[in-house]
């Protein structure tokens, strides 16, 4: 099946202000060196690399009132929101090269606003080991990369929940979380209270990735803007060691490929985050190369013989 894709813009956001390990600030370069741009061009995609955004350095401080580096997190997310929003305005597909996952807030805030403006339905696929639904009261770490989904749903400080003006940026029923296997105690209660649709690893083990993806993509139609927020720690650490917060028991290579292929089949992906890649922890950039490999599948490169 060959499909034409909208023009893509790569946006680097070299920061780890939201993370508990430093190094994901080097993610954008590692993805470029692994050949992300070239791989997409090879797929026939029109690609512009917008280079890297600018923002405050990581002050590497302890939490203040339950948040680490909140002002810096706000500044980076504002820059991301503006950059992602500008690409969507131009009819381009933004691919955010993180950076840690706190940036999903800026990215998805821009996407949600674009959907409201254009009358599209929003569907977010959150591929992750973690639910990232903490608040400053329940967070075990104060790291804001554990909070973006809560903030998007209106739970968090005004500076983050109102990044795009109105709050909440998104409704809980607009997101599907896949690959989840590490949720903190207080976080779990909030996830249940907000009724998030979580496809955790136990469920994936029991019913299989194919059915999980069918369920997660149910209702995606021609009017849907599909946003994929791909936290690299979604993948099993045996194939993707280059992340700060590894959790064993993630999807294997084939399961991950199937996820990407089934997303590609919808033809509806219109924006993408690739986050949490930490080259400092990686081995010879293999996690970055795997991420590129999976992104190729998101753009229709199939491992099957039948097409
Ligand atoms: N995007 C991530 N890697 N999130 C990890 C979050 C880990 C933990 N739940 C915390 O809040 O500190
Ligand atoms: Mn995450």
Can you tell me the mean pLDDT for 162-190?
Answer: 98
CA-based nearest residue to 126, from 200, 74, 76: 200
User: Closest-lying ligand to the alpha carbon of 21?
Assistant: 1
Atom of ligand 1 nearest to the CA of 147: 11
* pLDDT at res. 3: 76
Atom of ligand 1 nearest to the CA of 100: 1
Distance, CA of 100 to CA of 93 (rounded, Å): 20
Residue 2 pLDDT level (bands cut at 50, 70, 90): low
pLDDT in tens, 247-264: 999 999 999 999 999 999
Model ipTM value: 0.98
Distance, CA of 101 to CA of 15 (rounded, Å): 10
Percent of the chain residues topping a pLDDT of 90: 96
Q: Distance from the CA of 133 to the center of ligand 2, in angstroms?
A: 9
* pLDDT at res. 303: 72
Instruction: Give the residues surrounding ligand 1 with Cβ less than 6 Å away.
Output: 101, 130, 132, 134, 139-141, 143, 145-146, 184, 231, 233, 245, 276
How many angstroms separate the Cα of 252 from the Cα of each of 46, 199, 260?
30, 16, 13
Q: Distance from the CA of 61 to the center of ligand 1, in angstroms?
A: 17
Q: CB-side exposure of 103: number of CA atoms within 13 Å?
A: 35
- Candidates 143, 152, 191, 234: which one to mutate for ligand 1, based on the most atoms within 8 Å of Cβ? 143
Atom of ligand 1 nearest to the CA of 134: 11
Residue 305 pLDDT level (bands cut at 50, 70, 90): confident
Can you tell me the mean pLDDT for 1-29?
Answer: 94
Residue 284 pLDDT level (bands cut at 50, 70, 90): very high
Q: Distance from the CA of 1 to the center of ligand 2, in angstroms?
A: 31
Question: Catalytic residue numbers?
Answer: 101, 128, 130, 132, 145, 231, 233, 276
Can you tell me the mean pLDDT for 283-306?
Answer: 93
The CATH fold of domain 8-298: 3.40.800
* pLDDT at res. 239: 98
pLDDT at 306 over 70: no
* pLDDT at res. 307: 59
Can you tell me the mean pLDDT for 172-176?
Answer: 98
Residue nearest to atom 12 of ligand 1 (CA): 141
Residue nearest to atom 11 of ligand 1 (CA): 146
Q: CB-side exposure of 292: number of CA atoms within 13 Å?
A: 23
Can you tell me the mean pLDDT for 202-226?
Answer: 98
Can you tell me the mean pLDDT for 87-116?
Answer: 98
How many angstroms separate the Cα of 105 from the Cα of each of 34, 62, 100, 148, 246?
26, 22, 11, 5, 21
Give 54: exposed, middle or buried? Use CB within 10 Å, 0-12, 13-18, 19+: exposed
Residue nearest to atom 7 of ligand 1 (CA): 146
């Amino acid at each position: 099946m060959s499909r034409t894709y909208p023009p893509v813009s790569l946006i680097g956001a070299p920061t780890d202000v939201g993370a508990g390990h430093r190094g994901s600030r080097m993610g954008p370069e590692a993805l470029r060196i692994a050949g992300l741009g070239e791989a997409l061009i090879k797929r026939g995609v029109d690609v512009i690399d917008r280079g890297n955004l600018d923002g405050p350095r990581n002050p590497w401080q302890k939490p203040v009132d339950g948040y680490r580096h909140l002002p810096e997190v706000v500044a980076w997310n504002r820059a991301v929101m503006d950059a992602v929003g500008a690409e969507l305005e131009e009819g381009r597909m933004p691919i955010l090269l993180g950076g840690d996952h706190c940036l999903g807030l800026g990215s998805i805030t821009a996407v949600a606003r674009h959907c409201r403006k254009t009358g599209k339905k929003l569907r977010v696929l959150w591929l992750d080991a973690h639910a990232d639904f903490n608040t400053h009261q329940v967070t075990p770490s104060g790291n804001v990369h554990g909070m973006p989904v809560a903030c998007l749903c209106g739970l968090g400080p005004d500076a983050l929940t109102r990044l795009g003006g109105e709050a909440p940026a998104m409704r809980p029923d607009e997101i599907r979380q896949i690959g989840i296997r590490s949720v903190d105690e207080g976080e779990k209660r909030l996830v249940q209270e907000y009724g998030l649709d979580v496809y955790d690893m136990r469920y994936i083990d029991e019913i299989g990735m194919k059915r999980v993806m069918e369920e997660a993509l149910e209702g995606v139609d021609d009017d849907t803007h599909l946003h994929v927020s791909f936290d690299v720690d979604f993948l099993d650490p045996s194939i993707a060691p280059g992340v700060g917060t590894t959790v064993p028991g993630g999807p294997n290579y084939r399961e991950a490929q199937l996820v990407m292929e089934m997303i590609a089949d919808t033809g509806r992906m219109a924006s993408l985050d690739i986050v949490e890649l930490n080259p400092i922890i990686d081995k010879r950039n293999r996690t970055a190369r795997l991420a590129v490999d999976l992104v190729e599948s998101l753009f229709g490169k199939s491992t099957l013989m039948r097409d």
